[in-house]
Structure 1
Amino acid sequence: MPGKFQLPRQKSLIAPMIRNPFVHDLRLSTWDKIQIAVGSVTIAPIRFLFLLILLLLSWLIAIIATMGMDASKPMAGWRKFCKRILVIMGRTMYFFMGFHYIKIRGKPAPSSEAPLMTCAPHSTYFDIITVFVGEGLASGVSRKENSTIPLIGALTTSTQPVLVDREDPNSRRNTIEEIKKRAQSAGAWPQIIIFPEGTCTNRSCLINFKQGAFFPGMPVQPVALKYPNKLDTFTWTWQGPGGLKILWYTLCQFHNRLEVEFLPVYHPSEEEKKNARLYAANVRAKIAAVLNIPTTDHTFDDCMLMVAAGKSDMPMDAGLVEFQKLREKLGLKLEDMRQLLKQYSSIAEKEGGVIGIDDFAKHLNLPVTEPLKELFSMYDRDGSGRIDFREYVIGLSVVSQPANTEETLQMAFKMFDTEGNGKITEDSLAAILRSAFNMEKMDISDLFKAVDKDGNGFITYDEFEAFSKVHPEYAGLFKTYQDLKHEEELTRVEEEIENVEEDSPELEVLGSPVEGKKEA
């Protein structure tokens, strides 16, 4: 009976509302194209020239401000005055990029009250504007090697960022200690600005916040960013226009709108101080509520899986699974997901990046039969008739792996071992598979050779078990087949009872022998 063994849909594994927050489909109307064409020969070149001039001047001021500076102490005196000039220069650069007026809501808190600013959603390099609109020139968290990059290095150093040394095994602890030290300086150090999503999205949702900024347990000021322009030339994601194209299109717009909303300072509870994950989730919820957008469990690791999917000649979004959620619920690591993606790409259609019932049957060397349809429906969580990568991973973990037990394997082995001598011959395998799955002789022969690793003409239990571990789908298939056979047997018995009752109506009148004795 189709649908009898459908897997219950756990709310914790339901697909996200936003399928792909890492794609930006920039569609230009005819008018947009005309505007960009005109802007490319008028305002854009002039703006770009002014940007270069201002960037070089800022670099010169940054060189002067950091010359002979002790990086372990906050800037003071004339160096601090140079930072104020850099703030003006930075804001002027944005003016020449078309951000003539930036709408500010709320009030930036001083670093003595909120040593950290957490900004979201992070969707573009234009988000750096938040460095210039707060209380002075804000710092950031940057890789140590960034400070040595020509031009950019001096500008980065002038903000006095918290530098992360990736080669240092104690880097994470040192970063937390440095943030705590600055937070306890009574405002001597500048605020530290964090984009906790860790990568750029299309602003359709807030993805999972990284916990690094929340481990110190210090108060933070959440900051919400909006780009209300009708034509979104700002968003820079993994799938979409490149960085230079985004910059040029933005320079071609006469006016670019940006809204920055400073939320009230968030003071963590004692529980949140001990639980950075809870702290990060609650701050994210505050920003999401202001922006009226959902939250998802996508992370930067999903981006890595997108890239891997692209390298496998599949659509990049085929690799999106909400990795953080699957890691927590199913205990999967990123390397596990990469291996599963390779396996999935060998089964799925290259164009659509999904698995149909025929693809599933081909992968298992089986014809499309009722047991196979039942197993397929367990994987196909949304009933679309297609299995995407997320459903495939969940299916393996929730359907096939639990069925791949010692008890199930022994039961299946005994079913094929018709002679009871601990060996499965090709003939005995064929007899069952033809009956159960209508398999062709050639397909059975190929499957037998795949399991019979030593090629001695029979399959031992060890070979059977080893094959099932690599192909857990078969265990789920055996289990489904057994359930269907059991259901058929129950149906047959019920029909026999009904037939007996129809042939002997007097039984209904007389009742059972037990009832007769009671009445007597």
Structure 2
Amino acid sequence: MRLPKCRRCSVEGDGKKLAPPVKNPFVHDLRFTPLQKAQIAVMTVTLFPVRLLMAAFMMLLAWPFAFLATMGRSETAVEPQTLWRRFVDLALRVIMRVMWFSGGFHWMRVKGRPASPSEAPILTLAPHSSYFDAIPVTNTMASIVMKRESKDIPLWGTLIKFIRPVFVSRSDQDSRRKTVEEIKRRAQSGGEWPQIMIFPEGTCTNRSCLITFKPGAFIPAVPVQPVVIRYPNKLDSITWTWQGPGAFKILWLTLCQLHNDFVIEYLPTYTPSEEEKKNPALFAQNVRRIMAKALDVPITDYTLEDCQLAMAEGQLRLPPETCLLEFAHLVRRMGLKLDKTGRALEDYGTRARELKRVGLEEFASFLDAPVSDLLRDMFDLFDEHLDGTMDIREFVTALSVVCRPTKTLDTMKLAFKMYVEEVESSLGERELACIVQTALGVADLSVASLFRAVDAHGKGKITFESFQSFVELHPDFANEYLFGEKRAFSRSPGQSPSTSPITTPPVSNGFCTDFSPPDHKKLN
């Protein structure tokens, strides 16, 4: 049996179901036509170095203005906007605009009316998809919430301090409370402080949907202005996700484009109700729905945790079209522990080997949980034939992947035990297909090449030992034998997206957005 493609809908607070996005929001697959490749080659030796030098010069030119304005300035008090401070602010905006212009952002379209700080102390921006999302920050000189270490970065730190950010100290365990209090203090200042820009998604996506908003921007319970960002370019060289081109490649490709389009739209200010003030999650959910409607994209309950599951360094890396992100979300919502011990999974495996196919009531009994809408959603995910039954072995295999995504062989060993009577026994190509398709969360995937490679003697059957020996000799077997040219991921050999400073996009603790240079980015 095979794990079907996602049929479950994301459920919002009003009970309305919205279709999940058609692809993994944490993946950006960038492909070029021969003409585009030729253009990039020409631009690399002509336009790219000029633009890069011009952008670097503008950054250097901005530094003395920012340094002058931040000398002796308090982090907790607002100085009067004297004439010279207004001049510095205007000069920096012009310099930053020239920097973006030199990078190909010639015209920036602005829709809607920006609210004043007294109307909306907080601006919520989405979708967050690139370090180029710093454009609205430099255009408005609005504050952002950043880690305190950022202000010590040479050159960049001085520019950061100028915009009066709310600093978060990751070494301070009480930092979250202090950050909320500081945002509240600024928000209730009657417009004396600059507005605060927050990207509530907390990480970069490919703009195919809006993932779950973190509550940081909504805990202060003050009016917010939703702001949506678009990059309607023919070639999307902007997007910087967990799985796709790295930071320098994004910069290189973007500077090689003749023109980069940027559109920012200010939506009407959203004032929370009394219920939303008491429930930041509901507040965030309702604002997200408004922003998704403006963008005409679906909303999904994917989170940063789902992203980390998708990028786990197991030998069976999840492909972009995987259904396991939906499954992992349901596991969390049902309260099933993701950190199950191997013994608990072994117990599940023993019971599943005896039961094989079950109905909804039996599935509820298997999990020792009541029949609920969440349980039905989980059941439907595995009810491939829509006949009211599911293969419980598929559920256990998928749960093992979610609980221990880096331990591929442990999951395969458990699956072998469920599909044969003893681990020393053998199974055929059909059973291997069930296991691999479930472990990857895809419905249509041929394992014929992999099976023939493992079954070197042509017996038509393989054991777990033969599979294990094969994997030890071919650690990258998934790319080589399962995906072919449609690889599950793309990176340089030995480079880990979850730790590499070049491939890791900004992440957030619910408040801060990190626009620091790539080598200062770290996974939370």
1:62 and 2:66 matched: yes
The match for 2:108 is 102
1:32 corresponds to which of 27, 36, 57: 36
CA shift, 1:327, in A, is 6.0
Q: Name the residue aligned to 2:275.
A: 271
Alignment partner of 2:356 out of 356, 369, 372 = 372
Distance change >3 Å, CA 230–CA 82, structure 1 → 2:
same
Aligned partner of 1:128 in structure 2 is 134
Q: Is the 8 A contact 1:122 1:201 kept in 2?
A: yes
SS in 2 for 1:315: coil
Q: Is contact 1:120–1:197 with CA below 8 Å preserved after alignment?
A: yes
Aligned with 1:149 (options 146, 149, 153): 153
Aligned length: 377
Select the residue among 315, 318, 328 that pairs with 2:318: 315
Are the counterparts in 1 of residues 311 and 317 from structure 2 also a CA contact under 8 Å?
Answer: no
Q: Paired residue for 1:451?
A: none
Q: 1:38 to 1:316 in 2, by over 3 A?
A: same
Please give the alpha-carbon distance, in whole angstroms, between the structure 1 residues aligned to 2:9 and 2:290.
Answer: 23
Paired residue for 2:230, among 226, 249, 271? Answer: 226
Matched to 2:56, the amino acid is L
Describe the superposition over 1:140-180 as per-residue Cα deviations: whole angstroms up to 9, x where unpaired.
00011111122221111111101111222221111111111
Match of 2:245 in 1: 241
Q: 1:36 to 1:25 in 2, by over 3 A?
A: same
Cα 1:116–1:387 change in 2 (3 A) is farther
Partners of 2:68 and 2:239 lie apart in 1 by 34
Q: Give the superposition deviation at 1:393.
A: 7.8
Of 251, 254, 257, the residue aligned with 1:253 is 257
- Residue 88 of structure 1 aligns with which residue? 94
Match for residue 162 of structure 1? 166
Please say if 1:383 is aligned against 2:384. yes
Structure-2 change in CA distance of 1:388 and 1:93 (3 Å): farther
2:20·2:298 contact (CA, 8 Å) conserved in 1? no
Kindly state the Cα deviation for residue 275 of structure 1 after the two structures are TM-superposed. 0.6
What is the aligned-residue identity percentage? 47
Please state which structure has a larger fraction of its residues in helix. 1
Instruction: Provide the rounded CA distance (Å) in 1 between the counterparts of 2:106 and 2:397.
Output: 48
Partner deviation per Cα, 1:405-441 (whole Å, 9 max, x = no partner): xxxxxxxxxxxxxxxxxxxxxxxxxxxxxxxx99479
Shifted more, 165-174 versus 238-247: the winner is 165-174
Contact 1:50-1:96 within 8 A present in 2 as well = yes
* Aligned-residue offset at 1:184: 1.6
| Contact in 2 for aligned 1:105/1:262 (Cα 8 Å) | yes
The alpha carbon displacement at 1:46 in A equals 0.6
Write the letter of the residue equivalent to 1:177.
Answer: E
Q: CA deviation at 1:269?
A: 0.7
Q: Is the 8 A contact 1:214 1:279 kept in 2?
A: yes
Instruction: Rate the CA distance shift 1:438–1:167 in 2: closer, same or farther, 3 A.
Output: closer
Contact 1:299 1:322 in 2 (8 A): no
Q: Which residue of 2 aligns with 1:203?
A: 207
SS of 1:69's equivalent?
coil
Measured against aligned partners, the alpha-carbon deviations of 1:236-259 in whole angstroms (never above 9, x if no partner) come to: 001111111111111111111111
Provide the rounded CA distance (Å) in 1 between the counterparts of 2:77 and 2:392: 53
CA distance in 2, matches of 1:143, 1:83: 23
Shift of 1:295: 0.2
CA–CA separation in structure 2 for the residues paired with 1:264 and 1:390: 47
Alpha-carbon distance change, 395 to 126 in structure 1, aligned in 2, over 3 angstroms: closer
Counterparts in 2 of 1:391 and 1:373: CA distance versus 1, 3 Å? closer
Residue 117 of structure 1 is matched in structure 2 by 123
Secondary structure of 2:356's aligned partner: helix
In 2, Cα distance between the equivalents of 1:139 and 1:438?
60
**Alpha-carbon displacement from aligned partner over 1:71-115 (angstroms, at most 9, x marks no partner):** 111243233432222222111111111110011100111111111
Contact 2:310 2:317 in 1 (8 A): no
Structure 2: tracts of 5 or more residues without a match: 2-6, 12-16, 364-377, 401-418, 427-524
Query: Structure 1: where are the runs of 5+ without partners?
Result: 3-8, 347-359, 397-436, 445-520
- What is the one-letter code of the residue matched to 1:129? I
Q: Which residue of 2 aligns with 1:502?
A: none
| CA distance in 1 between partners of 2:21 and 2:383 (Å) | 13
Question: Would you say the 8 A contact 1:206–1:295 is kept in 2?
Answer: yes
Equivalent AA in structure 2 for residue 53 of structure 1: F
CA radius of gyration, larger in: 1
Q: Is the Cα–Cα contact under 8 Å of residues 18 and 296 in structure 1 kept in the other structure? A: no
Give the alignment's TM-score, normalised by structure 1.
Answer: 0.64
Q: SS at the partner of 1:223?
A: strand
DSSP 3-state at the match of 1:321: helix
* Contact 2:107–2:261 (Cα < 8 Å) also in 1: yes
CA contact (8 A) 1:302 1:320 kept: no
TM-score by length of 2: 0.64
The one of 179, 185, 191 aligned to 1:175: 179
Q: Secondary structure at the match of 1:71?
A: coil
Q: Is the 8 A contact 1:59 1:151 kept in 2?
A: yes
- Secondary structure of the corresponding residue to residue 47 of structure 1: helix
Residue 328 and residue 315 in structure 1: after superposition, are their counterparts in 2 closer, same or farther (change >3 A)?
closer
Name the SS of the counterpart of 2:225 in structure 1. strand
CA distance, structure 1, for counterparts of residue 350 and residue 106 of structure 2: 61
Q: Distance in 2 between matches of 1:384 and 1:31?
A: 45
Q: 1:36 to 1:180 in 2, by over 3 A?
A: same
